[in-house]
Structure 1
């Protein structure tokens, strides 16, 4: 009899190794930067939203870009793929997908590196110093992406270990740097949101299916499952990346056209501390979350797959009625989950804007909400590996 594969143990150990490497590397400072200017830099609201993928609100480290270029490029490719026909998807190899993700990651990293480098404070500001920092930032993003890809292949959670390091580090810094009075309201909201998030992540809507190939006691266990939170914590994380795009665009335009009043107003107000930026962010989050659910859980493809296999939803005719039925549930579940998350965001932003809680702790509920969703995903993946590892080969 063959030995067990020990899949869970090996993958978890590899992810721990990736965490250790990333933890050592992500605090290496950039060359030529005046580090004293960042010693007492606090966490603003916009920085907290991107800490999960960037790793730090202080843009003075080699890995300040974190995995945000890769996540942004993956999102772009996923949206493009979701909009293509099934035949076009079948003709696209995983190698080609990885090529395009890498190419777009390079462009995003370059744009972000230029934007970051122009905003940094240097010991001796000159063109060579700026170019060196741009190169270092892009190198740091490449290292982070390499670690992420290796963990996706050999570890657990994909990009989860890197995000766990970033979020845990930021949470520890916030908790130890704040008083109980400041933390009281955010922690109460966080507790409520964590319970809601775990419930939505661990439960699903099961749509019963009638399969032509199953006519036994197991037929009643056939169903189409849609999570109560269809896109999970991904919407919050990707939403932050989406919000960064207009910020980067107007930031670059403002740098070259500083006399333009409209660009100056947009540059100043398009952030999380201004009402305009708050409204734009929540609006983008709401629309983006629902669109993401429809792209990742494509009702058209699901209905076509059921039609081709001869299967159907119980008491629902095949074809367009099935598509409308699936779309109804995807829209309903995504609307409910998105409304809950956006309400939490709006409450946090309101508390910060009115000065009820400091900006450094205002987004704690969002951070805990993302972390709980991430841990649920990790748990389900490890559970799947454990179930696979529990089978003992007998041939």
Structure 2
């Protein structure tokens, strides 16, 4: 009898090594930066994405870009693939997708590096210092991507362990600097939201499917699964990036039509410090979460796949009826999960806007929501590897 594979142990150990390497590397300061100017930065809404994919809302480290360029490139290509026809997607090889993601990664990393470098505070600001910082930021992003790819291949959780380390490290720093009175309300909301999010991440709607190729006792265990939280926390992670689109459009219009009072009003109010900007952000977040659910869990593709294989949902005719039935459940769960997420964000923004909660800790509930979602994902993957490892080969 052969030995067990020890898949869980080996993959977890590899991820721990990746985490240790990343933990050391992502605190190397950039050359020529005035580090004293970045000592007392707090946590705000704009830092939620930075916490997850960059590791800090400070931009003074070599790996300040973190895995943000790679995740942005991957999400963009995934969305573009989702809106293409099924035949077009089938003609695109995984190797071609990797080339597209890598090319877009370098473009995003270069743009972000230039943007970060121009906004930093230098000891001696000159063109050479800026170029060196751009090169260091690009190199740091490449190292982060390399660690991420190795962890996806040999470790557990893909990019989840790196994001968990990023968020945990920064959250510990925020919690240590804040008083108990300032944390009481955010932590209470966080506790409730974590329970709700864990429940939604760990449960799914199972739609029974009749398989033409299965005619035994296992036929009863065939189903399509739709998670209560269809897209996890992708919407909240990239909500800030989505909100930047109307901000950039309004800023460009204001540059050419600064005398127009409506455009000037939008320019002044379309930000997270104004009530109008907060409302626009919440609406965009809800719409983005529903859109991602329909793209990632495509009812048309699911119904077409069932039709091609001759399978069907119990009690539902094949074709358009199946598509409508699946779309209904995807919309129901995306509306519920998006509503809960946006409700939490609305409460956090309201408490911050009214001055009830300090801005440095107001967004802790949303951060804990993201963190709990990634921990659930990591747990489910480890459990799958453990189940695989429990089988002892006998041939």
- Specify the TM-score bucket, using the shorter chain as the normaliser: over 0.9
| TM-score calculated relative to the size of structure 2 | 0.94
Cα distance, 1:48–1:231 mapped onto 2, change above 3 Å: closer
Cα distance, 1:288–1:259 mapped onto 2, change above 3 Å: closer
| Alpha-carbon distance in structure 2 between the residues aligned to 1:61 and 1:269 | 32
Match of 2:113 in 1: 113
- Give aligned pairs, total: 393
Match of 2:128 in 1: 128
Cα distance, 1:163–1:39 mapped onto 2, change above 3 Å: same
Cα distance, 1:169–1:69 mapped onto 2, change above 3 Å: same
| 1:202-241 → structure 2 map (5 Å cutoff) | 202-241=202-241
| Alpha-carbon distance in structure 1 between the residues aligned to 2:284 and 2:172 | 29
| 1:1-395 → structure 2 map (5 Å cutoff) | 1-244=1-244, 269-395=269-395
| TM-score calculated relative to the size of structure 1 | 0.94
SS of the aligned residue for 1:111 comes to helix
* 5+ long unaligned stretches in structure 2: none
| Alpha-carbon distance in structure 1 between the residues aligned to 2:93 and 2:367 | 36
| Alpha-carbon distance in structure 2 between the residues aligned to 1:132 and 1:258 | 34
Cα distance, 1:108–1:260 mapped onto 2, change above 3 Å: farther
* 5+ long unaligned stretches in structure 1: none
**1:347-387 deviation digits (Å, cap 9, x = unpaired):** 00111111100111111111111111111111110000001
SS of the aligned residue for 1:224 comes to strand
Cα distance, 1:329–1:219 mapped onto 2, change above 3 Å: same
SS of the aligned residue for 1:22 comes to helix
| Alpha-carbon distance in structure 2 between the residues aligned to 1:348 and 1:365 | 8
Task: Give, in angstroms, the shift of residue 89 of structure 1.
Answer: 1.4
Contact 1:33–1:60 (8 Å) recurs in 2? yes
| Alpha-carbon distance in structure 2 between the residues aligned to 1:131 and 1:266 | 35
| Alpha-carbon distance in structure 2 between the residues aligned to 1:190 and 1:287 | 23
| Alpha-carbon distance in structure 2 between the residues aligned to 1:265 and 1:100 | 39
Task: Give, in angstroms, the shift of residue 58 of structure 1.
Answer: 1.0
Which range moves more in the overlay, 282-291 or 328-337? 282-291
SS of the aligned residue for 1:225 comes to strand
Contact 1:239–1:285 (8 Å) recurs in 2? yes
Task: Give, in angstroms, the shift of residue 107 of structure 1.
Answer: 1.0
Task: Give, in angstroms, the shift of residue 248 of structure 1.
Answer: 7.1
Cα distance, 1:249–1:169 mapped onto 2, change above 3 Å: farther
Task: Give, in angstroms, the shift of residue 238 of structure 1.
Answer: 2.7
SS of the aligned residue for 2:238 comes to helix
Contact 1:75–1:238 (8 Å) recurs in 2? no
| Alpha-carbon distance in structure 1 between the residues aligned to 2:16 and 2:266 | 42
Task: Give, in angstroms, the shift of residue 332 of structure 1.
Answer: 0.6
